[in-house]
Amino acid sequence: MQGFSLPRSSTLFIVSYVFASSLTTKMSGRMSSNGNRSMINTTILHDLYEKHSQSPYYDNLSRPVSDLLPPFIVAGIRGVTSNPAIFEKAITSSNAYNEQLRNLLESGKDLESAYWEMVVKDIQDACKLLEPIYNESNGLDGYVSVEVSPKLANNTKGTTEAAKLLHKKVGFPNVYIKIPATKDSIPSIKEVISHGISVNVTLIFCLSQYEAVIDAYLDGLEASEMDDLSKISSAAAFYISRVDVTVDKKLEQIGTSEALDLRGKAAVAQAVLAYQLYRKKFRGPRWERLEKRGAKKQRLMWASTNVKNEAYPDTLYVDSLIGPDTISTIPPQALAAFMEHGSLSRSIDSNVSEAEGVYNEIERLGIDWNCVGSELEHIVLDSFTKCFDNVLHSLKAKHSHLISI
Ligand SMILES: *[C@@H]1O[C@H](CO)[C@@H](O)[C@H](O)[C@H]1NC(C)=O
Ligand SMILES: *[C@@H]1O[C@H](CO)[C@@H](O)[C@H](O)[C@H]1NC(C)=O
Ligand SMILES: *[C@@H]1O[C@H](CO)[C@@H](O)[C@H](O)[C@H]1NC(C)=O
Ligand SMILES: *[C@@H]1O[C@H](CO)[C@@H](O)[C@H](O)[C@H]1NC(C)=O
Ligand SMILES: *[C@@H]1O[C@H](CO)[C@@H](O)[C@H](O)[C@H]1NC(C)=O
Ligand SMILES: *[C@@H]1O[C@H](CO)[C@@H](O)[C@H](O)[C@H]1NC(C)=O
Ligand SMILES: *[C@@H]1O[C@H](CO)[C@@H](O)[C@H](O)[C@H]1NC(C)=O
């Protein structure tokens, strides 16, 4: 989705940047507090977590996982995600999948099963590397996300079954199964959570949809027969940059100066209000009953934080959404920018009334937030489905090429 068209050179720059910074002056060397003189090198990502309780996650995964992922973990990344677009890029631009692909297809697997086997292998490798963070943080962080097929988004039962199967196949406690927040998938969130499977709910674009997601999580916890709910974890991925792309377009159609002044403000304003909703839903008697059984809050997570409009600062969606008990998923482009010149201060609730003003003003101009949400849901789901088909297509092409040589 975001940033996949980065030229190779900038990708190399990012990777070598992070790598180099773990060794050079880009990091501020810091003494550990017990006077131990061995230096612990920290980056802005460590500070984000330690000073602001926001966990940085990275949106990219590629083989060889055991070579490519560790530099990011050293630099402070606390979790990682993959999706069909990322996977497609990975298999087409690397030879590291050839042998497994050939073996799988020769052993009679069909393309889609081969796809899942390869994905599961990468996810397991990443889970292994992040397990120390998962253990140290008591299951707060260290997650690796993998999604069920986007083709199941309108199929409640199919999504539930696929989530259970994927969870079992990966077999690590620190895997998040991604389930989209569509009308038909939300009921499966409840079901899957009640079975003790940790879920990353994706494709959340508006507040009403977000509230339904929180309720599904709470319903799932309540329905669970587990005595100890502390092993169940969930995150809710609220999408950022695409909201601005869509709302800005509508503001430009309206064209008045007050409409034009609101460009570039919608996504952050809505996210600020989402955080308020999170605070509100995870307190009070209903929540306290669950908390007594060990339940963890479903953390709010910012997704799609690459800035798509060049007129805006490239760290806008990372800098503006810093606050405790959240996750910021940072794709490669935004990560490089944030590490280079990000600014670090609690921003998510520094001016809630301003965000309310922006949100209400946009509504007053006739833009319906729920419609923006469903419009985006269709666009993104559509693009995920295409990516999924493309991956299978790329695998097929790759296999034909492999057997012809
Ligand atoms: C993701 O990581 C791989 C391996 O380092 C790299 O080749 C790819 O370009 C990265 N993707 C992006 C968008 O930077
Ligand atoms: C921290 O960086 C210094 C150089 O700036 C390097 O010598 C040292 O090995 C690094 N420490 C760790 C723990 O990576
Ligand atoms: C100092 O820290 C290093 C690295 O964290 C550790 O290996 C070492 O045992 C520590 N030494 C003391 C005296 O605490
Ligand atoms: C994490 O904890 C589990 C359960 O205690 C243990 O089996 C596993 O070896 C630990 N993993 C790491 C990397 O420490
Ligand atoms: C989901 O949508 C697809 C394509 O639009 C359709 O073929 C399929 O029957 C639908 N599945 C369900 C369970 O509604
Ligand atoms: C959840 O999924 C979103 C969307 O793919 C991703 O950006 C995010 O990193 C994932 N979150 C976690 C905690 O893995
Ligand atoms: C919050 O934003 C409003 C509207 O933009 C502004 O009038 C007010 O001064 C801001 N408050 C703080 C504390 O920054």
Q: What is the pLDDT of residue 104?
A: 94
| Amino acid in the structure at residue 95 | N
Pocket test for ligand 2, best of 39, 42, 43 (most atoms within 8 A of CB): 39
* C-alpha 81 to ligand 4 mean position (Å): 21
**Averaged in consecutive runs of 10 residues, what is the pLDDT profile of the chain (405 residues)?**
33 44 39 48 94 96 93 96 89 90 93 94 97 97 96 96 97 97 96 97 97 98 96 97 97 98 97 98 97 97 94 96 97 94 96 98 98 96 92 90 81
Domain residue ranges of the chain, discontinuous segments joined by +: 40-404
Residue 330 near ligand 1, beta carbon < 6 Å: no
| Nearest alpha carbon, ligand 5 atom 13 | 155
Q: What is the pLDDT of residue 93?
A: 87
| Nearest alpha carbon, ligand 7 atom 3 | 354
Rounded to whole angstroms, what are the CA distances from 281 to 208, 242, 339? 13, 25, 33
pTM of the model: 0.88
- 148 in Cβ contact with 189 (< 8 Å): no
Phi-psi category of 304—alpha, beta or left, where left has phi over 0 and alpha has psi -120 to 50? left
Exposure on the CB side of residue 113, measured as CA atoms within 13 A: 9
The ligand 5 atom at the shortest distance from the C-alpha of residue 156 is 13
pLDDT, tens digit, 9 for 90 and up, residues 191-214 = 999 999 999 999 999 999 999 999
Nearest partner of 317 among 396, 239, 397, judged by Cα = 239
The ligand 7 atom at the shortest distance from the C-alpha of residue 351 is 1
Pocket test for ligand 6, best of 146, 202, 376, 388 (most atoms within 8 A of CB): 202
Omega of the bond leading into 64 within 30 degrees of 0 (cis): yes
Q: What residues flank ligand 3, with Cβ below 6 Å?
A: 36, 38
Residue 103 near ligand 7, beta carbon < 6 Å: no
The ligand 6 atom at the shortest distance from the C-alpha of residue 203 is 4
Q: What residues pair up with 206 in beta bridges, in sequence order? A: none
Encode burial over 89-109: b for 16+ CB neighbours within 10 A, e otherwise: bbbeeeebbeeebeebbeeee
* C-alpha 400 to ligand 6 mean position (Å): 33
Q: Where are the beta strands (DSSP E) in 210-255?
A: 234-239
> In this structure, what DSSP letter does residue 57 have?
E
The ligand 5 atom at the shortest distance from the C-alpha of residue 153 is 1
40-404 is a CATH 3.20.20.70 domain:
yes
**Distance of alpha carbon 402 from the chain centroid:** 33
> In this structure, what DSSP letter does residue 178 have?
E
Distance between CA 230 and CA 60 in Å, rounded?
28
* C-alpha 250 to ligand 1 mean position (Å): 33
Distance between CA 233 and CA 359 in Å, rounded?
30
- 159 in Cβ contact with 152 (< 8 Å): yes
Nearest partner of 285 among 191, 193, 227, 218, judged by Cα = 218
Q: What is the pLDDT of residue 27?
A: 42
Tokens 């490798």 -> residue: 125
Residue 390 near ligand 5, beta carbon < 6 Å: no
Distance between CA 161 and CA 364 in Å, rounded?
42
pLDDT, tens digit, 9 for 90 and up, residues 308-331 = 999 999 999 999 999 999 999 999
| Nearest alpha carbon, ligand 6 atom 1 | 200
